[in-house]
């Protein structure tokens, strides 16, 4: 165990493809989930303490639970239990820059960050495979927050295969006021499928598959090809994100955000995961700055953040 504190930086993600299968009897949906880590980060600092204590800073701090349900606290408890430690003695501080309930896996990022930070603080030297297994128990998106870069997630999204990325992509993230509940967005997706007459269960919905064109665009670092794939890969009309229609149904004003970003020159726009953050792919750094400025001006979002991908996974800061 070290005496001082340790800080881990952990990225947000965008799902460049989120193909959602039918509702399974266990209540989950099978996914083909193409994750890309992006340069918005939370930082998790772990400091020695007698018991588990949690503090949160950042613009959305008030929306983050401080009790035992917080994913960072759950991660610290899980790691302590894994090593048979009597109690997770640690003060975790979450410096949150990833929007809360924004569809960018902020809570999952904090869980992965807390695992890596506590592992370093406690000197438990957990092998990577065991850390990944703990991540998968904490949530479907947590293993990817540990890995970062790009990966294909199957199963509930937690069975990961790293994907090659051949260049830098320039994005703008339009952050909305207020969040959307991920379970509620999945329920709306099921409801829309049932209402459309196609059915929402596993036998009615085709097995989700990654788009070969989208994977090739990532591999080649080709923004124009990725933009084309973002707008056409999905089963549900014009988006590679099968949750986009459900997010728009629950938050119709997101259509204005998507329209404002594409009108400002983005190559493509889509809802990030379960939303309500909208992601815009642009042609370069200058284009991203211009699209961010236009989005901020449009009044259709709270803030617009230019950034790049891919980004490394949970990383101990020196
Ligand atoms: P995903 O993209 O993985 O579906 P999200 O980005 O939409 O997730 P999160 O920011 O992870 O959403 O938060 C979802 C909910 O989880 C929050 O509304 C909050 O109640 C709870 N939560 C638990 N721990 C955290 C945390 N460390 N940070 C943020 N929210 C947390």
The 10s digit of each residue's pLDDT in 81-105 is 999 998 889 999 999 999 999 999 9
Residue 125 has pLDDT above 60, yes or no: yes
**Closest residue (by CA) to atom 16 of ligand 1?**
107
CA of 220 to the centre of ligand 1 (A): 32
CA 110 – ligand 1 centroid, Å: 9
pLDDT at 1: 45
Mutation test residue for ligand 1: of 42, 107, 118, 175, the one with most atoms within 8 Å of CB:
107
Q: What is the DSSP letter of 141?
A: T
Question: Under 8 Å CB-to-CB from 297, ≥6 apart: which residues?
Answer: none
Residues 183, 297 contacting (CB under 8 angstroms): no
Is cis: bond before 286, omega within 30 of 0?
no
* CA dist 157 → 29, 32, 35, 115, 311 (Å): 9, 7, 9, 19, 19
Which tens digits make up the pLDDT trace of 206-250? 999 999 999 999 999 999 999 999 998 665 568 999 999 999 999
Residue 242 Cα to ligand 1 midpoint, Å, equals 20
Among candidate residues 60, 110, 141, 242, the one labeled active-site is 141
Q: What is the pLDDT of residue 197?
A: 87
Say if CB 237 and CB 206 are below 8 A apart: no
Query: Which are the contacts of 183, defined by CB distance < 8 A and separation ≥ 6?
Result: none
Ligand 1 atom 11, closest CA: 107
Among 16, 69, 93, 100, say which to mutate for ligand 1: greatest number of ligand atoms within 8 Å of CB: 100
Instruction: Tell me whether residue 141 is one of the annotated catalytic residues.
Output: yes
Within 6 A (CB) of ligand 1 lie 64-65, 69-72, 94, 100-108, 110, 141, 179, 182, 273-274
Classify each residue of 1-16 as buried b or exposed e, where b means 16 or more C-beta atoms within 10 Å of its C-beta. Answer: eeeeebbbbbbbbbbb
User: For position 238, what pLDDT does the model report?
Assistant: 81
| Sign of the dihedral defined by the CA atoms of residues 153, 133, 131, 109, in that order | positive
Q: What is the mean pLDDT of residues 59-87?
A: 95
Tell me the pLDDT band of 2, cut-offs 50, 70 and 90. Answer: very low
Strands 52-57, 90-95: pairing is: parallel
- If you search the block for the tokens 């983050």, which residue do you land on? 64
In this prediction, residue 257 carries a pLDDT of 98
Closest CA to 294 of 179, 172, 169: 172
For residues 233 and 214, the answer to whether their CB atoms sit within 8 Å is: yes
Q: Distance between CA atoms of 160 and 130, rounded to whole angstroms?
A: 14
Burial class for 204, CB neighbours closer than 10 Å (0-12, 13-18, 19+): middle
User: What pLDDT is stored for residue 140 in this prediction?
Assistant: 92
Cα distance between residue 269 and residue 179, in whole Å: 19
Nearest CA to ligand 1 atom 8: 105
* CA 42 – CA 314 distance, rounded (Å): 10
Question: What structural domains and CATH numbers belong to the chain?
Answer: 6-162 (3.30.230.10), 169-309 (3.30.70.890)
pTM: 0.95
Taking CA atoms only, the protein residue closest to ligand 1 atom 31 is 107
What is residue 309's predicted lDDT score, i.e. its pLDDT? Answer: 98
């Amino acid at each position: 165990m070290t005496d001082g504190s340790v800080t881990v930086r952990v990225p947000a993600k965008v799902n460049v493809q989120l193909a959602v299968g039918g509702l399974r009897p266990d209540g989950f949906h099978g996914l083909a989930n193409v994750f890309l880590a992006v340069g918005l980060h939370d930082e998790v600092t772990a400091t020695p303490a007698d018991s588990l204590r949690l503090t949160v800073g950042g613009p959305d701090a008030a929306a983050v639970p401080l009790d035992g349900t917080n994913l960072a606290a759950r991660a610290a408890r899980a790691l302590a239990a894994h090593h048979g430690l009597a109690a997770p003695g640690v003060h975790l501080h979450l410096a949150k820059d990833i929007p809360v309930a924004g569809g960018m896996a902020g809570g999952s990022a904090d869980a992965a960050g807390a695992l890596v930070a506590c592992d370093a603080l406690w000197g438990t030297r957990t092998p990577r495979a065991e850390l990944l297994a703990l991540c998968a128990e904490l949530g479907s998106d947590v293993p990817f927050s540990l890995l970062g870069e790009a990966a294909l997630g199957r199963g509930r999204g937690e069975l990961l295969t790293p994907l090659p990325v051949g260049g830098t992509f320039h994005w703008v993230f339009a952050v909305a006021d207020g969040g959307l509940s991920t379970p509620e967005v999945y329920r709306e997706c099921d409801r829309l499928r049932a209402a459309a007459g196609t059915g929402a269960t596993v036998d009615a919905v085709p097995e989700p598959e990654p788009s070969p064109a989208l994977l090739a665009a990532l591999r080649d670092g080709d923004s124009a090809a990725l933009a084309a794939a973002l707008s056409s890969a999905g089963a549900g009309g014009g988006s590679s994100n099968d949750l986009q229609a459900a997010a728009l149904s629950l938050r119709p004003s997101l259509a204005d955000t998507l329209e404002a970003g594409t009108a400002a020159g983005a190559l493509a726009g889509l809802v990030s995961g379960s939303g309500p953050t909208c992601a815009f792919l642009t042609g370069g750094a200058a284009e991203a700055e211009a699209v961010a400025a236009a989005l901020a001006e449009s009044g259709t979002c709270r803030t617009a953040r230019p950034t790049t991908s891919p980004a490394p996974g949970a990383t101990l800061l020196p």
